[in-house]
Every structure is written in C-alpha cells, then in structure tokens.
C-alpha cells in the first residue's frame, strides 16, 4: 500500500512547488525592481532609513570623482540602475556609476539644490526634482515648457517660487511641471504613486507621480526645509518656525492630507534639528535640545529620548535598521541606539563637525561624511573606527549606496561627487572612540604631569620663600611683626 | 609710620589672623572714587596686583599640601565625570578650581553636558554646589593659614569647616546669577547680552570674592560676611575690579583657549594637556590666595555699615579711619 504515493499528497506537493516557483519569481522581480532603484531618494527611500545590508564593505578606494561642470555645488546623489543622479545649479546630471562620465543632463533654471527622487509610474521610472527660481527672477516659471501641467502656474503670484518637475527617466522627457507656493529646499519624497514636497512657506504638497496632478496641499507653521518622510500611510514633516524658535513634528494622512495627530512640539529654543526617519511605526529625529527622539507614528506620543552631546544639522537624518538607530550629531558624535528603548549601545566621537553628512549603514559599517572632508566607516557592532579617507577640502555630504559603490557629495573648491568602491587590497583599522577610557594611559600621563608640575612649582617656590618669605611672614614683614605690635590703623596715614 | 608694612600681631594661639598694612595708607592718598576708583588709577590702598598674585602663588607653591590638592583635585574630578558618563573635552578641567562664579559656570556646563537640562540637571547642580562649597571652604581655611603662618595644619581645616555655610551661599548666589543671566541677558541681544553676562560674572567675583576669606578670618554670620565682602570690594582704590577682570580674562578666554587639545573630545588627555590643566589649577589656587591676601590687607578698613558715597567723597581717609572695624581677633 505504500508503493505509490497518495494522489492527494502529490497534488499538494505540486501546489507547494508551484507556489515556491511563483514566490521566487515575484521575489526576484521585486528584488530587481528594488535593485533598479536602489537608493531612490534622500537616505535611500521615503522612510529615510539610510540602510542597505548588501552595500559595499570597507575598505574603500576612489573609483571616480565628478566636479560640478558649472563650478558650483551639487546636491546629494541618488542611484538608479547604473546612474547616480544629482542636481546642480544649471542642470540635473546623470553620472555613469562605472566611470563618472556624464550620461545625460537636464537643463535647470537654478534655485536651491535639493535631493531629487525617482519612483515608478505606469511601468516607467519617473525622476522628480525641484527647479528654480532662477537667480534674481521674480517669474514663477522661468523655463516654461510645452509639457507643463495645465493650470499649474495659473495662480502663482509675483514672488519667485520653485517648480516641481517630473521627467521620464528613460528618455528624459518632461512629463509634468507644477509651480509650488514658495521656494523649496526640502527635496523630493516619493512613496508609491505620490510625490511629497515642502516649501519655505510651510506648504506641504502632494502630487501624482504619473502626471503631477495635485492630490492635496496643507500648511504648517514655519518652513519645511528637510526631506519629508513617508511610511505606513503617514507623511511626516519637521516644521521650523524661525521667528518663534519653535520646531514641530507634524504628521498627515498620506491619502487625504488630514492631520494624523496633533503636532508634536520639540521642547527646544533653537530650530536646529535633523530630518525625520521612520521605521517600525516610529518616527526618529534629532533635535536642538540634544535629544534623539522616537515618536509613535500612530498617535504622536513620545516613546523614548536619548541624550547626545550636541544638536543636529538639518542636513542629517538618523539611519534605521537592524533594530537600531544610528544618529550623528553636529559635534561629530556617532551613536548607535536601541530602537526599542533608545538605550545607547555605543558612541564614537569623531571630533569633527558633521554639517552636511548623514549616517548610512552599508552592510556592517556605518558611513558618515565629515565637515573636514573625511569619509569614515565605523563598525556597526563595536563602534570602532575601521576606515577613513580624506576625500575633499570641503565638507562631505550625504552618501548614496549602490550595489557596489558609495557616492558621496563633496564640497570645497572642486565640489561634486566622489564614488568609492571596495578595495580588496586596502586595510582596516580598529580605533576605539577617543572617549573610551584607558586607565593605564590616563594614569600614566597624569602621574607624569603631576610630578612635573609639582617640582616645577615647589622647587622654585622653596627658593622664593627663602628670598621673599612665605605668605605674610616675609623677612621684612616678619621683622615688622616682631618689632611692632601696634594696630596698623594707628599708624595709618589717615 | 614707616613705609614698611605692618600687621597686627597675634594675641593668642592657636594662630591668629594677621593683617597686612594697606600699602598706600602711609602715603595718605586721596583715593579715586566711583568707577575709576574701582577699576584702578591712583595709589591703591591694597598691595598691588602683581604683589598680591606673587604672594598668593608663593603661599600655594611652598605648601606641599596645597600643591597636592591643586594637582589631585582635577584628576579626581575627571575620574568622577567619566564615571557618571561624561563625554567631553578634558579642557573643561582647567576651570575645576576656578573661583566662583566662573567655577559655577563650569559646573553648569558640565551638568548640562552629562544629564541635559531637566530635573537631573538640578540634582547635579545641587551636588556640585555642595561639594564645591565644602572644598572651597576647606581650601580657604588652608590658604588663609598658609598666608598667616606659612604652614597648613588641621587648624586651617577647622577654620575652613566653619566657613562652609558662607561658601555654600556664595555658590548658590553664583548659580542664581548665572541662571538669571541666561534668562534675562538674551533680551538685550547677542552683543550687549553677552557683555552683560560677562559683566555679571566679573561682578559676581567682585562682590563675593572676599567672602570665603572673610568667613575664615572673622567667623561672622553669612549675610554679614557677604556684605562685608561687597563693602571691601567697593572701597575706593582697591583696584578690585581690575583684579577680577584680570582673573576673568585669565580664567576663561586665555586658559580655555590655550589648553592643549582644545575642544577635542576624549577620555585620555595628553601629557601636555595634563601639565597645562594642573598648572592652571595651581594658578587658580594662587588667585584664591591672592584674594585672601588682599582681604587680609583691606580687612581693617572695611566699614561696618554701607559706605555713603557723598560723605566718603569729601573725607575718605578720615571716614575710613573712623570706621575701622572691630574685627574678631
């Protein structure tokens, strides 16, 4: 009776096998899709988690450098297939990841540099970036095109404002162009088929990725100048009111634009703070009161706080992954915090300002760019510095991670991009944070110093005491004391 | 009288407080009044600032116990800070032994760095005020004894213990001064507000600087001791404001700016940093001793009641002579 397998079992096995094949194909397609847009926006994705577990590992070597053709600066890069995309004052550039050559460029009117984003609409990759306003221009649409969305600029006033542009990435044809309410510096965030962008006037706008149709628009008090985060059907912005010195975390429903919960006011008098990141139902950000905060994405309640040494640059955002938060403060402190309760797992003080950089995680290394031009890699497990390279004279900015390269934005005289790849012949180091106490070293140095100071002070002091006397009992004064017991006031000249 | 300095001799033992003949009393100068008198200019009724500093330094470096205290305290503070999780620059240690309110400024900055600004900050501040009050009082007792007798003994420590309440109040006033300054001076704008804050720090030292020594030597009540410290500072011709401004300049911009390693964060200061920190600690103690030396010099001239400026302007020397304190001896 056991000579042939039961028919039902065979069928079941077949179904399981077929399901496995389908699952594999779907997963492969998803992976391929993900691979095509590996680092599609600021800090990798709409949640800004800055985490890629299959990124290249240190040590690194420079693959190529790319200087802004206009001689100015570039925005942080994103990566799509084999192209790094960056925004310059005069154009948006596609840079070949293999050799750093310009693959394509799209003319741009000017305006603040902000990070573009790429999403998929109708099976096509759509690049969205902010354009203008042109320097010195009061025209809200300095480069109107035939492909501009109808009515997009009809209600624009005379103030110079930025425009949001959607471009089909394959052939760089402009799909749509819409005028924003003010100048935008926030960069672009794409979540699914929605595009989110904030502006200096405090307007948060949502558009259709496919055609630029406005989905909704709302305002907050203050300006929105850091990338908007989007995850779990919520859109999170940091609103900074410079006049009142107030910062608030504000959440909106991604579909309707209605407020998801009351604004979470950051209890700090300065507006310096990071962009938000979202993971596992929590919004993480660093603020001017030197706290990294986790706020529930569901109801806006504070989950935990963790004190660090300094405040945060608005150009940074915490990286999230592997159950941890990786935050970099302005003073150069890199911290790994437990995402569950905010408990500090390690810190590494880099002793250099982190002005334009944001930490990203590539495999087992945390990468961050410093203001002195160094790119450093810290071991995610131990917090020890394992690699560093001086890449530029200016400040190093955000890093994008592709399959086999890091692309960092550089400052200085030849500002642009630099790509790094794993260097098989390179060496790693193992340097603990300078704030890790080494008893032997410290005691030894202190003992030597104390001995030096003691003898340098005491020996001349002995000679000086012989010469001048000690305290009030100097030779002359001592004589006086012995000779004259009179009240000094009696001898006063008064 | 002769040009030499005189002091009141001891009338009983244990060692008695001694006085230094005010340097200019013999010359019967017409002291300059008002701001000019506070800042300097004209003959001083106190030993000159260089002489005060020289005497202060000599009193410290010739007393091994004081020298050891100046060298050990910064290290103990550093270990304590590391133990409670401090991550920062060892350069902060240069003001561990600074005089209040500069030392208070150091404490507040350190507390904010370690625990942030919250309830824990108040606890940290309270503990630091308490510890610093005790340490300063003991140091004041030892410094005064070193100046008076050229030695340091348990008697100096006992006199310092008696001065603890006064020094604690000085610490609390310094703390309040800085907190108030942080709250109100920003209203004046960044430039004027900063200057006002600096003036507040200098003013705090100006009015409170003599209090620990006065407490050690006279053993009066807290308020009376602090009042007398203020009155002594306001006596014309003391150049106390100049002295305090000099100290402030040395203790903050110069010392903090010159510390090896600067603002580099680290738990293991370099040898050069330690040498600098410890040397500066000796200098701080020397300034404390210089203030004590100056108080001892001006002590007989400190009026029992607040000085009435108009009267003093006409007959300064006579008034000083008539208001010479009884003084507990």
Q: Is A480 helix (H, G, I), strand (E, B) or coil?
A: helix
* End-to-end C-alpha distance for chain A, whole angstroms: 131
Residues 6+ apart with CB under 8 A from A57: A362, A363, A364, A365, A422
Q: Which residues of B touch A466 (CB under 8 A)?
A: none
Report the pLDDT averaged over residues A58-67.
96
Based on the domain organization, do A401 and A446 belong to the same domain?
Answer: no
* pLDDT value at A97 more than 60: yes
Task: Write b or e for each residue in B127-156: b if 16 or more Cβ atoms lie within 10 A of its Cβ, otherwise e.
Answer: ebbeebbbbbbbbbbbbbbbbbbbbbeebb
Residues 6+ apart with CB under 8 A from B67: A454, A457, A458, B60, B61, B282
Based on the domain organization, do A392 and A316 belong to the same domain?
Answer: yes
Based on the domain organization, do A114 and A174 belong to the same domain?
Answer: yes
Q: Which residues of A touch B303 (CB under 8 A)?
A: none
Residue B37 lies in a domain: no
Q: Would you mind telling me the total number of residues written for chain B in this entry?
A: 329
Residue A15 lies in a domain: no
Chain-wide mean pLDDT for chain A? 86
Domain that holds residue B233: 54-306
Of B150, B268, B282, the CB nearest to A438: B268
B195: number of Cβ within 10 Å: 13
Distance CA A291, CA A306 (A): 5
> How many Cα atoms within 13 Å fall on the side-chain side of residue B137?
23
pLDDT at residue B5 in the model? 40
Based on the domain organization, do A50 and A181 belong to the same domain?
Answer: yes
Based on the domain organization, do A137 and A286 belong to the same domain?
Answer: yes
Residue B285 lies in a domain: yes
Based on the domain organization, do A261 and A335 belong to the same domain?
Answer: yes
- Strand ranges in A267-323 using DSSP code E only, listed in sequence order: 277-279, 282-286, 291-296, 302-307, 319-321
Interface contacts A/B by beta carbons within 8 Å = 178
Of A450, A465, A472, the CB nearest to B7: A472
pLDDT at residue A17 in the model? 57
Place of tokens 């100096």: B156
Contact A486 B6 (CB under 8 A): yes
- Closest-approach residue (CA) in chain A for B117: A289
Of A289, A436, A461, the CB nearest to B267: A436
Residues 6+ apart with CB under 8 A from A320: A47, A49, A50, A51, A277, A278, A279, A280, A284, A326, A339
State the virtual CA torsion across A441, A444, A447, A452 in degrees, nearest 10: -100
pLDDT at residue A382 in the model? 97
A51: number of Cβ within 10 Å: 25
Distance CA B222, CA A115 (A): 63
Q: Which residues of A touch B318 (CB under 8 A)?
A: 494
CATH of the domain at A371: 2.130.10.10
**What is the C-alpha R_g of chain A?**
30
pLDDT at residue A148 in the model? 36
- Closest-approach residue (CA) in chain B for A290: B116
Helix residue ranges per DSSP H, chain B: 34-39, 49-61, 64-83, 102-115, 119-149, 154-162, 164-184, 190-208, 211-218, 222-234, 240-249, 255-258, 271-298, 309-314, 316-322
Residue A121 lies in a domain: yes
A67: number of Cβ within 10 Å: 17
Tokens (6 digits) for A87:
């925004």
pLDDT at residue A445 in the model? 97
Residue B25 lies in a domain: no
- Closest-approach residue (CA) in chain B for A331: B265
Contact B58 A331 (CB under 8 A): no
- Closest-approach residue (CA) in chain A for B62: A461
Residue A374: pLDDT band with limits 50, 70, 90: very high
Share of chain A above pLDDT 90, in %: 73
Q: Is A305 helix (H, G, I), strand (E, B) or coil?
A: strand
Q: What is the pLDDT of residues B95-139, one digit of tens each?
A: 899 998 888 888 888 998 888 888 889 999 999 999 999 999 999
Cβ(A346)–Cβ(A359) below 8 Å: no
Q: Which residues of A touch B62 (CB under 8 A)?
A: 458, 461-462, 464-465, 470
Tokens (6 digits) for B222:
């807290």
Q: For residue A178, what is the enclosing H or E element?
A: strand A173-179
A35: number of Cβ within 10 Å: 13
Q: A348 has which bridge partners?
A: A334
Based on the domain organization, do A450 and A409 belong to the same domain?
Answer: no
* pLDDT value at B303 more than 70: yes
- Closest-approach residue (CA) in chain B for A480: B6
Domain count, chain B: 1
Q: What is the pLDDT of residues A324-373, one digit of tens each?
A: 999 999 999 999 999 999 999 999 999 999 999 999 999 999 999 999 99
Q: What is the pLDDT of residues B225-279, one digit of tens each?
A: 999 999 999 888 778 899 999 998 888 888 788 889 888 899 999 999 999 999 9
pLDDT at residue A244 in the model? 84
Residue B28 lies in a domain: no
Q: Which residues of B touch A456 (CB under 8 A)?
A: 279
Specify the higher pLDDT residue, A185 or A463. A185
Q: Which residues of B touch A491 (CB under 8 A)?
A: 1, 6, 21, 25-26
Q: Is A107 helix (H, G, I), strand (E, B) or coil?
A: strand
Q: Compute CA distances B266 → A309, A430, A433, B114, B289, whole Å.
A: 13, 17, 8, 14, 32
Based on the domain organization, do A447 and A408 belong to the same domain?
Answer: no
Q: A124 has which bridge partners?
A: A121
- Closest-approach residue (CA) in chain A for B143: A471
Lowest mean pLDDT among A183-192, A267-276, A309-318, B276-285: A267-276
Based on the domain organization, do A215 and A325 belong to the same domain?
Answer: yes
Contact A454 B59 (CB under 8 A): no
Q: Does B20 touch chain A (CB under 8 A)?
A: yes
Q: Which residues of A touch B63 (CB under 8 A)?
A: 470
The alpha carbon of A490 is separated from its chain's Cα centroid by a whole number of angstroms, namely 75
Q: How far is B238 from chain A (nearest CA, A)?
A: 16
pLDDT at residue B253 in the model? 80
Report the pLDDT averaged over residues A311-317.
93
Residue A493 lies in a domain: no
pLDDT at residue A12 in the model? 55
Q: How far is A145 from chain B (nearest CA, A)?
A: 48
Residue B11: pLDDT band with limits 50, 70, 90: very low
Distance CA A134, CA A153 (A): 15
* pLDDT value at A31 more than 70: no
Q: Is B238 helix (H, G, I), strand (E, B) or coil?
A: coil
Distance CA B89, CA A207 (A): 49
Cβ(A83)–Cβ(A91) below 8 Å: no
Q: Does B275 touch chain A (CB under 8 A)?
A: yes
Q: What is the pLDDT of residues B25-61, one digit of tens each?
A: 434 444 444 444 444 455 667 788 898 999 999 999 9
Distance CA B83, CA A112 (A): 46
- Closest-approach residue (CA) in chain B for A467: B58
pLDDT at residue A168 in the model? 96
Residue A194 lies in a domain: yes
Tokens (6 digits) for A266:
């950051």
Residue A110 lies in a domain: yes
Distance CA A400, CA A87 (A): 14
Domain count, chain A: 2
Lowest mean pLDDT among A227-236, A357-366, A477-486, B118-127: A477-486
pLDDT at residue A135 in the model? 79
DSSP state of B252: I
Cβ(A230)–Cβ(A196) below 8 Å: yes
Based on the domain organization, do A98 and A174 belong to the same domain?
Answer: yes
* End-to-end C-alpha distance for chain B, whole angstroms: 23
Residue A20: pLDDT band with limits 50, 70, 90: low
Listing DSSP states for A385-405 in one string gives: EEEEEE--SS--B-EEE-SS-
Contact A492 B22 (CB under 8 A): yes
Listing DSSP states for A319-351 in one string gives: EEETTEEEEE-TTSEEEEEETTT--EEEEEE-S
Q: Does B241 touch chain A (CB under 8 A)?
A: no
- Closest-approach residue (CA) in chain A for B325: A489
Residues 6+ apart with CB under 8 A from A479: B4
Q: Does B324 touch chain A (CB under 8 A)?
A: yes
Q: Does B318 touch chain A (CB under 8 A)?
A: yes
Q: For residue A32, what is the enclosing H or E element?
A: helix A7-36
Residue B59 lies in a domain: yes
Q: Which residues of B touch A304 (CB under 8 A)?
A: none
Report the pLDDT averaged over residues B296-314.
70
Specify the higher pLDDT residue, A7 or B269. B269
Based on the domain organization, do A456 and A414 belong to the same domain?
Answer: no
Based on the domain organization, do A276 and A339 belong to the same domain?
Answer: yes
> How many Cα atoms within 13 Å fall on the side-chain side of residue B7?
29
Q: Does A269 touch chain B (CB under 8 A)?
A: no
Contact B71 A290 (CB under 8 A): no
Interface of A with B in 453-482 (CB under 8 A): 453-454, 456-458, 460-462, 464-465, 468-473, 476-477, 479-481
**What is the C-alpha R_g of chain B?**
20
Place of tokens 């008696």: B162
Q: Does B254 touch chain A (CB under 8 A)?
A: no
pLDDT at residue A196 in the model? 97
Residue B98 lies in a domain: yes
- The closest alpha carbon to A234, from A198, A201, A278, A200, belongs to A278
Q: For residue A406, what is the enclosing H or E element?
A: strand A406-410
Report the pLDDT averaged over residues B157-168.
94
- Closest-approach residue (CA) in chain B for A352: B264
Best mutation target among A302, A348, A449 (most B Cβ atoms within 10 Å) is A449
Residue B1 lies in a domain: no
Distance CA A373, CA A390 (A): 6
Tokens (6 digits) for A152:
């997009």
Residue A388 lies in a domain: yes
Q: What is the pLDDT of residues A409-424, one digit of tens each?
A: 999 888 999 999 999 9
Of B6, B18, B26, the CB nearest to A484: B6
Listing DSSP states for A252-271 in one string gives: EETTT--EEEEEEEE--SS-
Q: For residue A167, what is the enclosing H or E element?
A: strand A163-168
Q: Which residues of A touch B9 (CB under 8 A)?
A: 481, 484-485
- The closest alpha carbon to B65, from B170, B169, B160, belongs to B160
Q: Is A183 helix (H, G, I), strand (E, B) or coil?
A: coil
Listing DSSP states for A225-256 in one string gives: -SPPEEETTEEEEEEEETTTTEEEEEEEETTT
Q: What is the pLDDT of residues B195-210, one digit of tens each?
A: 888 888 899 999 999 9
Residue A18: pLDDT band with limits 50, 70, 90: low
Residue B22 lies in a domain: no
Distance CA A376, CA A389 (A): 7
Domain that holds residue A354: 42-422
Q: Does B71 touch chain A (CB under 8 A)?
A: yes
Chain-wide mean pLDDT for chain B? 81
């Amino acid at each position: 009776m056991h000579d042939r397998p039961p028919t039902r079992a065979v069928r079941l096995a077949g179904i399981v096998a077929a399901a496995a094949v389908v699952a594999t194909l779907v997963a492969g397609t998803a992976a391929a899709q993900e691979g095509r847009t590996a680092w599609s926006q600021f800090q990798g994705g709409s949640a800004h988690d800055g985490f890629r577990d299959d990124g290249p590992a240190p040590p690194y070597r420079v693959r190529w450098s790319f200087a802004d053709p206009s001689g100015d600066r570039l925005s942080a890069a994103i990566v799509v297939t084999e192209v790094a995309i960056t925004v310059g004052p005069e154009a948006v550039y596609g840079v070949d990841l293999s050799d750093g050559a310009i693959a394509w460029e799209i003319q741009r009117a000017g305006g603040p540099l902000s990070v573009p984003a790429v999403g998929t609409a109708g099976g096509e990759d759509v690049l969205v970036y902010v354009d203008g306003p042109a320097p010195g221009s009061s025209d809200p649409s300095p480069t109107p095109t035939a492909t501009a969305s109808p009515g997009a600029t009809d209600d624009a006033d005379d103030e110079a404002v930025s425009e949001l542009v959607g471009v089909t990435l394959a052939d760089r044809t402009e799909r749509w162009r819409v005028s924003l309410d003010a100048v935008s510096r926030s960069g672009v965030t794409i979540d699914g088929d929605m595009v989110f962008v904030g502006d200096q006037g405090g307007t948060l706008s949502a558009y259709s990725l496919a055609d630029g149709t406005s989905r909704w628009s709302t305002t907050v008090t203050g300006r929105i100048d850091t990338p908007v985060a989007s995850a779990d059907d919520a859109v999170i912005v940091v609103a900074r009111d410079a006049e009142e010195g107030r910062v608030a975390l504000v959440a909106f429903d991604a579909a309707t634009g209605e407020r998801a919960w009351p604004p979470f006011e950051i209890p700090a008098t300065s507006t310096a703070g990071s962009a938000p990141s979202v993971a596992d139902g929590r919004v993480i950000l660093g603020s001017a009161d030197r706290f990294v905060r986790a706020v529930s994405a569901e109801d806006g309640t504070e989950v935990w706080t963790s004190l660090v040494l300094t405040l945060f640059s608005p150009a940074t955002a915490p990286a999230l992954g592997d159950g941890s938060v990786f935050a970099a403060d302005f003073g150069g402190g890199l911290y790994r915090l437990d995402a569950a309760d905010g408990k500090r797992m390690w810190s590494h003080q880099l002793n250099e300002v982190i002005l334009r950089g944001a930490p990203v995680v590539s495999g087992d290394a945390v990468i961050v760019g410093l203001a002195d031009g160094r790119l450093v890699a810290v071991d995610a497990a131990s917090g020890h510095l394992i690699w560093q390279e001086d890449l530029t004279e200016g400040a190093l900015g955000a890093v994008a991670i592709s399959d086999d390269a890091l692309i960092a934005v550089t400052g200085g005289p030849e500002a642009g991009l630099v790509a790094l790849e794993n260097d098989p012949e390179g060496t790693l180091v193992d340097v603990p944070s300078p704030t890790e106490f080494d008893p032997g070293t410290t005691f030894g140095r202190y003992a030597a110093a104390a001995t030096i100071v003691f003898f340098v002070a005491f020996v001349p002091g002995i000679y000086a005491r012989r010469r001048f006397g000690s305290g009030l009992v100097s030779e002359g004064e001592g004589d006086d004391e012995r000779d004259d017991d009179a009240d000094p006031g009696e001898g006063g000249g008064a | 009288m002769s040009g030499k300095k005189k002091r009141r001799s001891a009338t009983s033992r244990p060692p008695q407080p001694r006085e230094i003949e005010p340097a200019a009393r013999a010359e019967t100068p017409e002291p300059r009044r008002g701001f000019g008198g506070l800042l300097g200019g004209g003959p001083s009724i106190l030993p000159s600032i260089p002489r005060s500093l020289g005497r202060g330094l000599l009193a410290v470096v010739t007393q091994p116990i004081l020298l050891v205290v100046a060298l050990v305290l910064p290290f103990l503070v550093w270990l304590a800070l590391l133990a409670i999780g401090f991550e920062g620059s060892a350069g902060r240690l240069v003001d561990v032994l600074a005089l209040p309110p500069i030392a208070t400024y150091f404490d507040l900055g350190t507390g904010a760095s370690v625990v942030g600004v919250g309830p824990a900050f108040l606890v940290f501040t309270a503990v630091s005020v308490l510890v610093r009050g005790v340490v300063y009082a003991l140091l004041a007792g030892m410094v005064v004894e070193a100046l008076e007798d050229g030695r340091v003994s348990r008697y100096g420590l006992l006199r310092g213990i008696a001065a603890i309440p006064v020094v604690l109040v000085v610490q609390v006033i310094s703390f309040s001064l800085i907190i108030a300054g942080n709250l109100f001076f920003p209203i004046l704008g960044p430039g004027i507000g900063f200057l006002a804050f600096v003036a507040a720090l200098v003013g705090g030292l100006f009015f409170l600087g003599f209090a620990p020594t006065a407490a050690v030597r006279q053993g009066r009540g807290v308020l009376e001791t602090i009042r007398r410290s203020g009155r002594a500072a306001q006596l014309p011709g003391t150049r106390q404001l100049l002295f305090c401004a000099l100290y402030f300049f040395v203790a903050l911009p110069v010392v903090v700016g010159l510390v090896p390693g600067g603002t580099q964060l680290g738990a293991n200061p370099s040898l050069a940093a330690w040498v600098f920190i410890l040397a500066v600690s000796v200098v701080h103690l020397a300034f404390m001793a210089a203030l004590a030396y100056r108080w001892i010099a001006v002590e007989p001239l400190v009026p029992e009641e607040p000085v009435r400026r108009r009267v003093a302007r006409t007959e300064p020397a006579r008034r000083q002579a008539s208001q010479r304190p009884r003084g507990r001896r």
